Chains A and B, each alone.
Chain A
Amino acid sequence: MDPTQMTDERIMAYADGELPEDEARTIERAAENDPEIRRKIDLFARTRARMKEATGDPAPVPDALARRIAEMVEARAGTAKDQEAAEIVPLPQKSRIWHGPAALAACLTLVVGLAAGLSIGQFGQTGPDAPFGIAALADPEVTDALSAVVSGQSRTLGSGAVLNVIASFADAGGGLCREFDYAGRDGASVVAVACHDTSGWTPKIAITTSNDGQTGYAPASSLEALDAWLAASGLGTPLSADAEARRLEGLPQ
């Protein structure tokens, strides 16, 4: 933030106690001579107070839920299993569901791997022959993660990128396909489906968003394209956790 700019964001950060002391003093000095800054400080302080008043304390959770969770917590407290699971971190995933379709359409690249005509690289390649030309998918750690991480969980790769497996599907031949997010440290983000065949994991469809410096989200419409592709490929219904686990175990090591 440019400390000479009295933006709404900086004034709000002052009202919320989020500014370092020296910057806060700058705002206070400016506010002494500027009623507009004072008005905004008041606006931000009052909106926060009104939100607090309107929501009050959260309601207690329903008894049935409280009981189920207390049992889960008791059962799992301090077991060795927790330590094993620690390597799987359910953390970043791009928010991409609620965003308007038009906003980022311009920076959307949608590549569909058709059966004929398109040469699709395998995972593990680098450089210009990387799958779909998306360097992120050439990370060999991606293939390892696809063979191991259960749906709904994430793995942080050595590069700092985060791979989040969304769902598994069975293709027409009974092979395992997996839908996943890949968020690189540089902000590059890919939503893709890969299927396992004799040569390993092969990407079938990938949707990338270029990093706009703000969000890097894919617009909702791109997910409709993905859904349509899943449906057309006969991959409409995700596998259950049990079915997924059996198929993951059955993959060649």
Chain B
Amino acid sequence: MSDPFGRALIEKLPNLRRFALSLCRSGDTADDLVQITVERALSARASYDPATRIEAWLFRILRNAWIDMARKHKIRGTHVRLEEAPETAAAGHHPGDARLMVAAVMDAVERLPIDQREVLLLVCVEDVSYAEAATILDIPKGTVMSRLSRARTALAGRIGIK
């Protein structure tokens, strides 16, 4: 593929799908969301500012697509718990105690309110900056920081970090 924009899009698909799964908890719905995101990104590519990171722009499109979808289909809650969506579990190898640790972390993440969870996943998993997270979620940076701080304090308590 010669088009760098298209290449960048395809390169981010696994991250987009992981974020989609964290929102909708269903593999099929996540696939739909990723596809809608790519469609919208292709249609609006001239509005993408190349000075910014494309993943932040894509996460924002994806999250807005999810809000639209939830609104249209009256999806109010979650369909599948995270552990029932095996793709969301770690892709790497985690033998023994490490596997228990992964389970404990994912369980703790699961119990966070959605607004804290999405900030946590964006910053600590997808490595977006506070400013990028604020743009993706359409909230002030101060709100990103307070949600993220609360999420990590709660997570620490649940997995035994003092």
Contacts and interface: CB of A to CB of B under 8 A. Distances in A.
Interface residues of A, number: 70
Contacts of B35: 65, 68-69, 72
Contacts of B105: 50-51, 53-54
Given A13-B130, A69-B34, A73-B3, A98 B43 contact: no
B143 A43 contact: no
A109 interface: no
Given A73-B3, A77-B3, A47 B123 contact: no
A85 B90 CA distance: 38
A39 interface: yes
Given A48-B123, A54-B101, 6 more contacts: A8-B149, A16-B123, A58-B17, A59-B17, A66-B10, A97-B71
A97 B91 contact: no
Contacts of B2: 77
Contacts of A93: 64, 67-68, 138
A98 B115 contact: yes
A43 B162 CA distance: 7
Interface in A25-77: 39, 43-44, 46-48, 50-62, 64-66, 68-70, 72-74, 76-77
Nearest to A213: B140
Given A74-B1, A85-B44, A58 B38 contact: no
12 contacts: A18-B129, A54-B106, A58-B18, A62-B31, A66-B10, A69-B13, A86-B46, A89-B44, A90-B65, A95-B115, A98-B113, A164-B64
A74 B9 CA distance: 12
B3 A54 contact: no
The dominant DSSP class at the B interface is: helix
A61 B31 CA distance: 8
Nearest to B124: A51
A214 interface: yes
Interface hub of A66, A72, A73, A96 (most chain B Cβ within 10 A) = A73
Interface of B: 1-3, 5-6, 9-10, 13-15, 17-18, 27, 31, 34-35, 38-40, 42-47, 60-61, 63-65, 67-68, 70-72, 74, 76, 87, 90-92, 94, 98, 101-102, 105-106, 109, 113-115, 120-121, 123-125, 129-130, 137-140, 142-143, 145-146, 148-149, 152-153, 155-156, 159, 161-162
Contact of B31 (A12, A65, A73, A164): A65
A94 B70 CA distance: 13
A144 interface: no
Interface of A: 1, 8-9, 12-13, 16, 18, 39, 43-44, 46-48, 50-62, 64-66, 68-70, 72-74, 76-78, 81-83, 85-86, 88-99, 151-154, 164, 166-167, 183, 213-215, 220, 223, 227, 238
Given A47-B124, A47-B161, A86-B47, A227 B74 contact: yes
A98 B76 CA distance: 7
B139 to A, nearest CB: 6
A241 B70 CA distance: 17
Given A43-B153, A65-B35, A69-B35, A56 B91 contact: yes
B72 A47 contact: no
Interface hub of B27, B63, B64 (most chain A Cβ within 10 A) = B64
Contact of B161 (A16, A46, A214): A46
Contacts of A238: 72
Given A43-B153, A238-B72, A73 B46 contact: no
